[in-house]
Amino acid sequence: MQASTIQFIILDIINALFRHPDPAITMQDISYKLAAIFIIAVTAMFVLWAVKFIVRSKLLTLLLRNNQVWDDVLHEQGFFNRIAHITPALFVFASAPVLLEFNTLLLSFVLKCAQIYLVISTIIAVFSLLNTIEVLYQRSNLAKKAPITGFIQVSKLILAIIAILLTISLILDKSPLILLSGLTAIAAILLLIFKDTILGFVAGIQIAANRMFNTGDWIEMQAYGVDGEIREIGLNVVKVQNWDKTIATLPTYTLTNEVVKNWRGMLQSGGRRIKRSIQIDMQSVTFLDQDMINDLHNVRFITHYLESKLNELQDYHQNEQIDQSDLLNARRLTNIGTFRAYIEAYIRKHPQINQSLTLMVRQLKPTEHGLALEIYCFSSNKNWVEYEGIQADIFDHILASMPLFKLRPYQSITDKSHLS
């Protein structure tokens, strides 16, 4: 095969360097082959440097001039620098057949190396593109409704497997389909290796399709000691930042297989629930006498309640012809019932309680720890700190008001000197 003009130039340079007056060195000599490979490698590196220089000096200037966000993110993720690595491979494809002999082992080796480099460079550039898509999506309002981190990771995994298959097929000089068909023989091993990945992918589809969990949701999993906000839903793990600022990582499929309390409904509703009871000493429960009724008439929250109840009892006694002094047959007001009405009226007038949601004060089953009086309502403020403050203020007031109704809270150890 006749040498091309470029090949003759290389031969002349080599002969001049080695001071051969005649073309003593041919294309089959190792000196020529090493010189050709050196020229290809150096020129390829120069092409890469030139492309990166153009990207940094020209393209970056254009990106800084406009107000678009997507191109800035592409630059931050290194997409342009990584896509520049494709150009040396393309140069090798164009120059190697010119400088090296056709149908030789050396040319085949150089072209395969260029192909492998091209595959790796392309995959890395695509990874940067996927990272850009994820970053832009995370900045949108859709990110909290349907996270795509898991799907991005699955896409990267599939692309990495394709790149590995292509690389192996180039090295072995076999079709990728032949290698792919051979994977069925080790499918069981792959299932064991990628078990968590497969389960996580299926769980990710369920979570995204049913919108079970979103980034930013407050979840609680007592079995794992998790109580905090979801930071990331990935292919294999879910990252949760607990309220003590620790980070908990869970397998993604646990969100669909385990019991998880999601507080999203509360955050999206009109209030945060207050559900707490106070134990009352049952020995302090008694009927209201006239002096107590007169004193409680001055409490504005229950003035209407007392008047309506007293009228109701008076009508009942008249209709049934019952003497009000008859303690067993007559109906009388109790301090616990009046106190319960007072608490409900107090909460209904509280400015930090959502009046449109369920609100009640109820008695629970008496136990050896006293009679439980439960307050059930919803705070308008859902912030944790403010919510705890509102709840504490309500129960501070309740505890301080109990002596006015001659009621005592129950506690295991108490000073009983006041009972004598």
Query: What pLDDT is attached to residue 209?
Result: 65
- Ranges of H-type helices in 262-302: 264-268, 290-296
Please state, in angstroms and as integers, the Cα–Cα distance from residue 154 to each residue in 31, 41, 74, 88, 204, following that order. 48, 35, 20, 29, 10
Average pLDDT taken over every residue of the chain = 81
Token representation of residue 52 = 């990166």
Note the pTM of the prediction, 2 decimals. 0.53
pLDDT digits (tens, 9 = 90+) for 31-69: 667 777 888 888 888 888 888 787 776 666 666 666 777
pLDDT digits (tens, 9 = 90+) for 124-163: 889 988 888 888 887 777 766 667 777 787 788 788 888 8
**Of 41-50, 171-180, 411-420, which has the strongest mean pLDDT?**
41-50
**Roughly how many angstroms between the first and final C-alpha of the chain, as a whole number?**
123
The 3-state DSSP class for residue 251 equals strand
The 3-state DSSP class for residue 374 equals strand
Query: What pLDDT is attached to residue 214?
Result: 81
Q: Which amino acid would we find at residue 364?
A: L
The answer to whether residues 326 and 312 touch, using CB atoms and an 8 Å cutoff, is no
Could you tell me which of 155, 333, 324 has the C-alpha nearest to residue 235? Answer: 155
- pLDDT tier for residue 6 given thresholds of 50, 70 and 90: low
pLDDT digits (tens, 9 = 90+) for 250-263: 888 888 888 888 88
Calpha distance 250→238 (Å, rounded) = 5
Domains and CATH numbers, the chain: 5-139 (no CATH), 205-268 (2.30.30.60), 272-419 (3.30.70.100)
Token representation of residue 205 = 């589809």
Look at 217 and 29; give whichever has higher pLDDT. Answer: 217
Q: What is the CA radius of gyration of the chain?
A: 40
Counted residue by residue, the chain has a size of 420
| Signed CA dihedral, 41, 90, 171, 188: sign only | positive
- pLDDT tier for residue 241 given thresholds of 50, 70 and 90: very high
pLDDT digits (tens, 9 = 90+) for 372-395: 999 999 999 888 899 999 999 999
Calpha distance 307→304 (Å, rounded) = 5
pLDDT > 60? residue 191? yes
111 CB neighbour count, 10 Å cutoff: 17
Token representation of residue 356 = 């449109």
34 CB neighbour count, 10 Å cutoff: 11
pLDDT > 60? residue 22? no
* Alpha carbon 38 to chain centroid, angstroms: 51
Query: What pLDDT is attached to residue 2?
Result: 42
CA within 13 Å, CB half, 115? 16
Calpha distance 16→213 (Å, rounded) = 73
